[in-house]
Amino acid sequence: MDGFDYFAFFVIAVLVAAVVVIVVELGSLPGKIARARNHPHADAVNAASWISLVTLGLLWPLAFVWAFIAPPSSRSANEGDSVS
């Protein structure tokens, strides 16, 4: 083995580490957003985002959108009910 082989192993290790960091950051993003917005279902949003790793990201967009949407019980009673 020469220096190029060691360099190739180093590059592969850095790429694998980068992929792991990116997956962890994206997996925790909806939960962090929900907690920052004081979402009442922040734990469920966080669980859905981590479960999406098992489903290859299928649930991740749902968890991401869910982190931004307030449930109907937390919205004001008069919001959207105005009569013109």
Give yes or no for a contact between 50 and 59, defined as CB atoms under 8 angstroms apart.
no
Query: Structural domain boundaries of the chain?
Result: 30-70
- The answer to whether the predicted template modeling score (pTM) of the entire model surpasses 0.75 is no
What does the buried/exposed string (b/e) look like for 5-25 if buried means 16 or more CB atoms within 10 Å of the residue's CB?
Answer: eeeeeeeeeeeeeeeeeeeee
The pLDDT of 56-80, averaged and rounded, is 78
Is 76 a residue whose pLDDT tops 60? no
The pLDDT of 1-19, averaged and rounded, is 95
